[in-house]
Structure 1
Amino acid sequence: MTTAPPDADADASDGDSAVDAAERSTEDGSLLEVQNLRKSYGGITAVDGVTFDVTAGSMTGLIGPNGAGKSTTFDLITGVQEPDSGQVVFDGTDVTGFRPYQAVERGLVRTFQIARELDEMTVLENVMLAPQDQVGEKLWRSVTPGVRDGVIAQETELRERAWDMLDFFEIDHLAEEEAGSLSGGQRKLLEMARVLMTDPDMVLLDEPLAGVNPSLEEKLLERLHELRDDGYTFLLVEHDMDVIMNHCDPVIVMHQGQVLVTGSPETVQNDERVLEAYLGGEVEE
């Protein structure tokens, strides 16, 4: 289903800027372009003019001290919250203000710091539920002769895909367990399996390794690299600097709601402003 940006009555100048940004994202290889995003809550500005690009096929890191605005930026990009101003262009389309399900339909999905599985459903059921627009979602389709055959065929295909996904993340042995019984690390793997069942082009990962033991962390990172090599694009928020510096390039650093530095891991590690931000000193412009 094709969806249009909610602000169809935007003025001509806004329309021109959207077209320009879409053309730039196509020409320079950027899959995601974030332009001057802003979000305030009362007198507090959480995101203050954030601008950056994410190149297709990259694993880009997004770091910053607590309260830097990273998760809010994720919310604004994926439609969990609506920005006060600014623009988000994904794959050449202005998706600013899209609802989360509309972003998913475009191939832009995210995970959360705390996994949001359905606890009383099995692991397999959680994964099968993820794809949108399933034929069996409408009751009448499930009971109408002829149409019902299509429902059964699609469910069989989804079940096979779900088993393949569980096998990829090595949690197929947990398929019939209730999701609520999983450990923190296993929930992270389940969440990734669910996300990939939506056939995304880009995944925003919000602290995917938080609470994950070292063996599962290594497994998840291996899977992410395999997926990136297959053409997926990732934007990764993570507090473990070793993970960011060893697995992400480029790295975007946020501080006090703004982008402070963007560059290679080496560039970021040697930037005095980054050290000041993490050590709590004053950051010079």
Structure 2
Amino acid sequence: MSETDESTASDSTPVEGAATDEEPSSAADDAAPAESSSDADLTELVEDDPETHTGDDGARYAPLEVEGLRKEFGGIVAVDDVSFDVEEGTLTGLIGPNGAGKSTTFNLITGMLDPDEGTVRFNGEDITGFEPHEIANQGLARTFQIARELEEMTVLENMMLAPKGQVGESLWRSILPITRGSVREQETEQLERVWEVLDFFEIDHLADEYAGNLSGGQRKLLEMARALLTDPDVLLLDEPFAGVNPSLEKRLLEHIHELRERGYTFLIVEHDMDLIMNNCERVIVMHQGRILKDGTPTEIKESEEVIEAYLGGEV
């Protein structure tokens, strides 16, 4: 089954009050990013650093392991015997032409689809067939090609829904006098953390804006900010830079590299080849539902089979 990959939006201004996949040409977006108070210390943004995962022999193992994934739709094979792992603390790129199976692979890993065959292990545990929310609670978060914000809620309200383990989700804890205090205390702490993340991604000025009125690039920033609030070990980013103007793209890349330096792990689908080659330590190439090549950016650039099947020339 072929996929539809979203094309990158232009930098024209959206109609006021309407959602769009294009980034507005506002002074706030086009100006050089101001220094953020949260830039100096990322520890304020997340509750804990990602764990270092080791086996009984003390050796590290990959937090995400995919083995033999296969998915058919009406007799058409979309993903065919896909196997790879994503090493801890790395930026790994997943590339391929439209219909290669990239987003279907993401959906299989994150529980949006059940594989016909194969296994997904996360932090050493078999999570094949888990529900998406169960996988997210394990520490494996994702974003989507088309951001899935709650359009009729504000940016701030969208963000407040993201943290795990909210005691206020229980009706009785919210209304009983003996527990209301703990609910209010946690909400106060979470609100402070939400503002820090909004500031980190430089969308704090949009806190009271309805998410449905954001531009395409702003929605991508909101989605990544929400994902960070779930305290993930691994982030799967599906075309995170589509619709983001160059200044915001540069800033977002800086955030990703800062988080990676703290031990966070990223698997990124992206059509911008220069971006992948210049920022990822490892690149996995898919073609017609299978893994065509897995290696360093240099190895991918020099691979004749990759050039013939996908790149069509020099990178």
Structure 1 residue 55 corresponds to structure 2 residue 91 = no
Matches within 5 A, 1:119-268: 119-268=151-300
Q: 1:84-118 CA distances to partner (integer Å, 9 max, x unpaired)?
A: 01011111111111111111111001000011111
Q: Name 1:83's counterpart in structure 2.
A: 115
Q: Which amino acid aligns with 2:296?
A: S
User: In structure 1, how many angstroms separate the alpha carbons of the residues matched to 2:152 and 2:76?
Assistant: 38
User: In structure 2, how many angstroms separate the alpha carbons of the residues matched to 1:162 and 1:232?
Assistant: 19
| SS of alignment partner, residue 50 of structure 1 | strand
| SS of alignment partner, residue 298 of structure 2 | helix
Structure 1 residue 42 corresponds to structure 2 residue 74 = yes
Between 148-157 and 124-133, the greater mean CA deviation after superposition: 124-133
| SS of alignment partner, residue 63 of structure 2 | strand
- Pair 1:201–1:36, CA change in 2 (3 A): same
Q: 1:224-281 CA distances to partner (integer Å, 9 max, x unpaired)?
A: 1111111110000000000100001100000010001000000001101101111679
Matches within 5 A, 1:99-118: 99-118=131-150
User: In structure 2, how many angstroms separate the alpha carbons of the residues matched to 1:72 and 1:27?
Assistant: 31
- Pair 1:83–1:23, CA change in 2 (3 A): farther
Note the residue ranges of structure 2 that are not aligned, 5 or more in a row.
1-53
Note the residue ranges of structure 1 that are not aligned, 5 or more in a row.
1-21
Tell which has more relative contact order, 1 or 2 (C-alpha 8 A, sep 6+): 2
User: In structure 2, how many angstroms separate the alpha carbons of the residues matched to 1:226 and 1:247?
Assistant: 12
| SS of alignment partner, residue 192 of structure 1 | helix
TM-score by length of 1: 0.88
Q: Name 2:17's counterpart in structure 1.
A: none
Q: Which amino acid aligns with 1:272?
A: E
Q: Indicate if the aligned counterparts of 2:94 and 2:268 stay in contact, CA closer than 8 A.
A: yes
Superposed CA RMSD in Å reads 1.8
User: In structure 2, how many angstroms separate the alpha carbons of the residues matched to 1:178 and 1:258?
Assistant: 40
Q: Which amino acid aligns with 1:122?
A: T
Q: Indicate if the aligned counterparts of 2:55 and 2:61 stay in contact, CA closer than 8 A.
A: no
Q: Which amino acid aligns with 1:147?
A: T
Q: Tell me by how many angstroms 1:137 deviates.
A: 1.2
Between 242-251 and 172-181, the greater mean CA deviation after superposition: 172-181
Q: Tell me by how many angstroms 1:154 deviates.
A: 0.8
TM-score by length of 2: 0.80
Identity of aligned residues (%): 66
User: In structure 2, how many angstroms separate the alpha carbons of the residues matched to 1:155 and 1:28?
Assistant: 36
